[in-house]
A and B are shown apart, each in its own frame.
Chain A
């Protein structure tokens, strides 16, 4: 089980307190009606799925309830860092 550091609670807590939120930093369109089919495809379905550093969202469901971002290595599953939503990509 992963140990995840919540940047809001400032504490490392077991994975079962958290829900994974998928890839991070995927920006929603400012003007959705101007979006092309190809842009929708990229937004909704295409994922980087890297082997190595992965930017992802987690939600501390059974704690503070807040979303935050993390960088995790997808080969070792070790977290490099976690940071608050809204902060720049690390």
Chain B
């Protein structure tokens, strides 16, 4: 890996930038690895990077059925925040937010983390009470989150319409100033490049088609489109496809896969200074550095693997956006797309060991796992390296669906988040 630095940039400028090597070489799979990660999204690539970096396990392969970052990592609206209600959640998401800080330097790759603040709008009495409860709970956990009056919301985000006569009146908002956005593709590329430099093989266009278990039930390796690859440790980070991969190991999972859509407008000059979310009306928005308004919708109602959703979902979201931000009523939309999100019954992820020896899982991030990318990668690596979960991800075990210790952010937020 050739490091990015001012010095190297100037040097390359004299050679028409012909001297930069490829970010990550395309590798053919070896016969065996010390650990295999299934799925080259941000989470899987992050796990491989931290395995190599923190635990010295460098003989690692990341196996991806498509191209790296082509799953939800490359399809999401990149909102980062950690103001979740429950203690377990605050610890988990804030662990990630702390890692976002300094990640560009650590990876020597600009992931464009921008702490522009995430403002969540309250439109009714229930929202006001629920957000204030979140703010108090967050403060106890050392997570910043503050209440803004409608006028303060307007000052923070001028395009907002706070007149009381709108269809979705703004009664206030919860602002997490450390929240913001990062460039999704760069996160995948940065981790891939840094992991590859430490010796990790990234194998793309190679779907995992089976999981081989020995006579004692323990993991022996994975069957792929390019043959069998042996490993005693396999970490699955396959997002919307996790149920399918787990079935290969004989496990039934508490997951359902739903389409989630997003869209962008044509690029315009900087107009929108922060991230605004409105859970009640299922709309959220920010502006990318390219200038597009990035808009996210709610999930479609039915399960699907089609990576596309219905238009009425988009229409519903845009109707809400036009009400809350009348300035954008004549904005033209450029494109829409969908990803498949893996949703658990309590809307909290599953990150830990499985009943199969040597098989680890990181899934169930649903509609909100981009913000957790560095944290999930770090904790999956820890769990694989120690064959035991870290204290932060210990509550996110599979057993909770049997013993009832759910981490019910679904009930806390009343919507997907």
Contacts and interface: CB of A to CB of B under 8 A. Distances in A.
Interface of A: 1-2, 15-16, 19-20, 37-38, 40-42, 44-51, 54, 56, 72, 74-77
A50 B403 CA distance: 25
Interface stretch (B123-131, B284-292, B301-309): B301-309
A15 B306 contact: no
A45 B401 contact: yes
Interface in B268-311: 301-306, 310-311
Given A41-B402, A47-B256, A20 B311 contact: no
A3 B401 CA distance: 35
Interface of B is mostly: loop
15 contacts: A1-B311, A20-B302, A37-B402, A37-B403, A41-B401, A42-B252, A45-B254, A45-B401, A46-B252, A47-B256, A49-B256, A51-B244, A51-B305, A56-B302, A74-B304
Contacts of A76: 306
Interface of B: 241, 243-244, 252-257, 301-306, 310-312, 345, 401-403
Contacts of A38: 402
A45 B305 contact: no
A46 B344 CA distance: 9
Given A1-B311, A2-B310, A47 B305 contact: no
Given A1-B312, A15-B310, A15-B312, A75 B305 contact: yes
Given A20-B301, A37-B402, A44 B306 contact: no
Contacts of A45: 254, 345, 401
